Chains A and B, each alone.
Chain A
Amino acid sequence: MNEREAQETETAAQLGLLSCHHCGAVWRDATEGEPCGRCDTHLHRRKPHSVQRTWALLIAACIMYVPANLLPVMITKSLLGTQYDTILSGVIYFWVSGAYGLAAIIFIASFLVPLFKLTALILLAWLAPRHSDWRRHERATLYRILEVIGRWSMLDVFVVSLLAGLVRIQGFAEITAGVGIAAFGSVVVLTMLASLSFDPRLTWDSKDVMEETEPAHDMPRGSERTA
Chain B
Amino acid sequence: MKEVPDAIVCEGCDAVYHRVRLRRREVSHCARCGTELDRHAGDQGARVLPLTVASLILFAIANLFPIVEIELRGLSSETTLAGAVIVLGGEGMSVVALLVLATTILFPLLQLCILFYLLVPMARERRPAGFGVLVRILQSLRPWGMIEVFLLGVLVAIVKLSSLAQVVAGPALWAFMVLTVLLTAVLSFNPRTFWEMAFEPRPGQKA
> Residues of A at under 8 Å CB distance from B?
5-6, 9-13, 15, 17, 19, 21-31, 34, 37-41, 94, 97, 99, 102, 105-106, 136-137, 140-141, 143-144, 147, 150-152, 154-169, 172-173, 176-177, 181-182, 185-186, 189, 192, 196, 200-201, 203-205
Q: Give B83-135 interface residues, CB cut-off 8 Å to A.
A: 83-88, 91, 93, 95-97, 99-100, 103-104, 132, 135
Is B157's CB under 8 angstroms from A159's CB? yes
State whether A25 touches B195 (Cβ < 8 A).
yes
The answer to whether residues A185 and B95 also contact, given A140-B13, A166-B78 and a CB cut-off of 8 A, is yes
List, in ascending order, chain B residues with CB within 8 A of A162's CB.
67-68, 79, 84, 153-154, 157
On B, residues with C-beta under 8 Å from A are: 1-4, 7-9, 11-16, 31-35, 67-68, 70, 72-73, 75, 77-79, 83-88, 91, 93, 95-97, 99-100, 103-104, 132, 135-136, 139, 143, 146, 149-150, 152-154, 156-157, 159-161, 163-165, 192, 195, 199, 207
- Chain B: minimal CB distance from A117 (Å): 13
Given contacts A23-B192, A39-B132, A39-B207, contact A159 B160 (CB under 8 A): yes
Chain B residue with the shortest CB-CB distance to A73: B96
Q: Find out whether the CB atom of B9 lies under 8 angstroms from the CB atom of A5.
A: no
Residues from chain A with Cβ under 8 Å of B93 in the complex: 164, 177, 181-182
The 5 closest A-B pairs by CB, nearest first: A165-B84, A158-B153, A19-B9, A140-B33, A204-B13
Q: Which of B132, B136, B139, B157 sits near A166, CB closer than 8 Å?
A: B157
Q: Which residue of B lies closest to A171 (CB)?
A: B75
Cα distance A11–B153 in the bound complex, in angstroms? 43
Given contacts A37-B3, A102-B156, A169-B72, contact A161 B165 (CB under 8 A): no
List, in ascending order, chain B residues with CB within 8 A of A30's CB: 1
Chain B: minimal CB distance from A145 (Å): 11
Are the CB atoms of A159 and B156 closer together than 8 Å?
Answer: yes
Which among B15, B68, B157, B195 is the interface contact of A39 at CB below 8 angstroms?
Answer: B195
CA–CA, A105 and B78, complex, Å = 25
Which residues of the other chain, A, contact B9 by a CB distance below 8 angstroms? 12, 17, 19, 24, 26
A22→B13 CA distance, assembly (Å): 16
Contact A163 B195 (CB under 8 A): no
Q: A10, B3: Cβ atoms under 8 Å?
A: no
Q: Are A167 and B70 in contact (CB under 8 A)?
A: yes
B13 and A11 contact, CB distance less than 8 A = yes
